[in-house]
């Protein structure tokens, strides 16, 4: 992109512009200025470490006003904290141009809700196809986010929106819905105070899942948010993103992959059918066998065993006391899907074991930064029940329970084997029928 400036305008701008980022073509004669009226692309980036005065922005506004065919504009004013009014005037002056592509880098300009409202008013007039808007750290609240949501045009083909480090709270689902109307979307919602809106975000993603499944057209960054439902169950970023099959920033993009062990040898169905009055004790090996092929939320092609998230030595069973205790190890201490992994393990065991068993699932001590918080949530029966009843989260858990390609026995075969092995109790058999319904849904 090339920007042209007349000499009188250049005087105000030259000291503030980043010469490494922009090409300047000066038009000193009227004839040259007449030629540049038909320039369709204009790009200016101000130096981040210099304080830009209002007169410089006014000069830029005058330069843009001389263009009659401007279609693509890029302006960088990041870290200029005293130009809120000038920025609003600049964006308002753009309304007369037939812009199809707009890039505005306004990070840390302290626009606030009022400045964002002025920006949104201008955006609502444009018929843009491409928008790159960077509003990080601008003291924007839910009101400003709502104004942006209403201003984003349905005509957008692709959008990049950075609104991280702004406490937009409960307005995030509405803004996300507006962004997802574009064919390609990138939205940064990191550190936006999104507590208690996880389920709304998941529902929004799920409603658009058919458009983004197995594609690279969607990127959402939700880092730095403890997303919780109404009962406080933490659902981390990657968990929500997997509901829509979209791309997210992974906590551990290159995990260490270990080999899979040998499957334990069960007795044949014929042998089990011959036994009518004997009930075997439940063993840790059998519990591990049912968990080893659960898939990792961040790496669907890898099992929890391959990542050493679950290990046979971290399973304890007391068949007489009817207790099962499992510890799992996240791949990194900052793993954002630790709660989802724990829920998947617990859901698998709840669906597979008779109700008389008390099931406890915890993080291996010292392996996660928030292990106490996650363990407390996994131990809360009401929170777990509420999570398992939510359709979006239940889909995530079901996806994790689906057998890994390397697995042998299917879920149905496992269930049949379980009923035959423990079929001596008629009462347990009736409870198993309830388990069957859960496992087949």
Provide the residue ranges of all domains of the chain, joining segments of one domain with +: 71-248, 269-440
- The residue among 169, 180, 167, 234 whose CA lies nearest residue 207 is 180
To the nearest whole number, what is the mean pLDDT of the chain? 76
Q: State residue 235's pLDDT score.
A: 44
SS3 160: strand
The secondary element (H helix, E strand) that includes residue 118 is helix 112-125
- The residue among 308, 377, 405, 296 whose CA lies nearest residue 344 is 296
Average pLDDT over every residue of 42-58: 81
Q: State residue 428's pLDDT score.
A: 44
pLDDT digits (tens, 9 = 90+) for 121-162: 999 998 899 999 999 999 999 999 999 999 998 889 999 999
Q: What are phi and psi of 335, to 5 degrees?
A: -50, 125
- The residue among 196, 195, 197, 143 whose CA lies nearest residue 173 is 197
Q: What distance in Å separates the CA atoms of residue 288 and residue 307, rounded to the nearest whole number?
A: 14
- The residue among 148, 388, 346, 336 whose CA lies nearest residue 227 is 336
Q: Are 159 and 182 in contact (CB under 8 A)?
A: yes
- CATH superfamily, domain 269-440, is Fe-S cluster assembly (FSCA) (3.30.300.130)
pLDDT digits (tens, 9 = 90+) for 61-111: 888 888 888 888 999 999 888 888 999 999 999 988 889 999 999 999 999
pLDDT digits (tens, 9 = 90+) for 264-299: 555 555 655 565 556 677 889 889 988 988 988 888
pLDDT digits (tens, 9 = 90+) for 112-123: 999 999 999 999
Tell me the fold of 71-248: 3.80.10
- 184 burial (CB, 10 Å; 0-12 / 13-18 / 19+) is middle
């Amino acid at each position: 992109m090339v920007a042209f400036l007349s000499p009188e305008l250049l005087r105000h701008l030259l000291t503030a512009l980043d010469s490494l980022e922009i090409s300047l073509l000066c038009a000193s004669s009227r004839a040259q200025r007449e030629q540049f009226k038909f320039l369709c692309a204009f790009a200016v980036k101000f130096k981040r470490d210099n304080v830009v005065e209002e007169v410089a922005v006014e000069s830029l506004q005058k330069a843009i006003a001389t263009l009659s065919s401007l279609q693509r504009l890029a302006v960088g004013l990041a870290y200029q904290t005293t130009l809120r009014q000038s920025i609003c005037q600049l964006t308002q002056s753009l309304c007369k141009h037939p812009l199809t592509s707009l890039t505005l880098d306004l990070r840390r300009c302290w626009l606030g809700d009022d400045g964002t409202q002025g920006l949104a008013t201008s955006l609502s007039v444009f018929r843009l196809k491409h928008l790159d808007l960077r509003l990080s750290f601008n003291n924007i609240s839910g009101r400003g986010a709502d104004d942006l949501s209403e201003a984003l045009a349905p005509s957008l083909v692709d959008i990049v929106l950075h609104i991280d480090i702004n406490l937009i709270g409960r307005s995030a689902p509405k803004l996300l819905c507006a962004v997802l109307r574009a064919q390609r979307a990138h939205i940064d919602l990191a550190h936006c105070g999104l507590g208690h809106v996880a389920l709304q975000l998941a529902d929004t993603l799920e409603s658009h899942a058919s458009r983004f499944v197995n594609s690279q057209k969607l990127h959402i960054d939700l880092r730095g948010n403890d997303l919780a439902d109404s009962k406080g169950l933490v659902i981390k970023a990657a968990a929500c993103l997997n509901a829509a099959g979209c791309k997210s920033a992974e906590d551990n993009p290159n995990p260490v992959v270990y080999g899979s062990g040998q499957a334990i040898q069960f007795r044949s169905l014929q042998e089990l059918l011959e036994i009518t009055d004997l009930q075997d004790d439940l063993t840790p090996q059998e519990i591990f066998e049912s968990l080893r092929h659960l898939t990792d939320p961040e790496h669907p092609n890898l099992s929890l065993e391959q990542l050493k998230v679950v290990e046979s030595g971290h399973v304890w069973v007391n068949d007489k006391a009817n207790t099962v205790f499992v510890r799992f190890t996240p791949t990194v201490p900052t793993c954002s899907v630790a709660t989802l992994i724990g829920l998947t393990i617990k859901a698998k065991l709840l669906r597979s074991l008779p109700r008389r068993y008390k099931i406890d699932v915890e993080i291996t001590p010292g392996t996660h930064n928030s292990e106490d918080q996650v363990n407390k949530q996994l131990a809360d029966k009401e929170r777990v029940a509420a999570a398992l009843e939510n359709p979006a989260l239940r889909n995530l858990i079901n996806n994790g329970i689906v057998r890994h390609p390397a697995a042998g026995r299917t879920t149905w075969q496992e269930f049949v084997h379980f009923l035959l092995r423990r079929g001596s109790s008629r009462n347990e058999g009736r409870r198993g029928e309830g388990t069957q319904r859960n496992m087949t849904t």
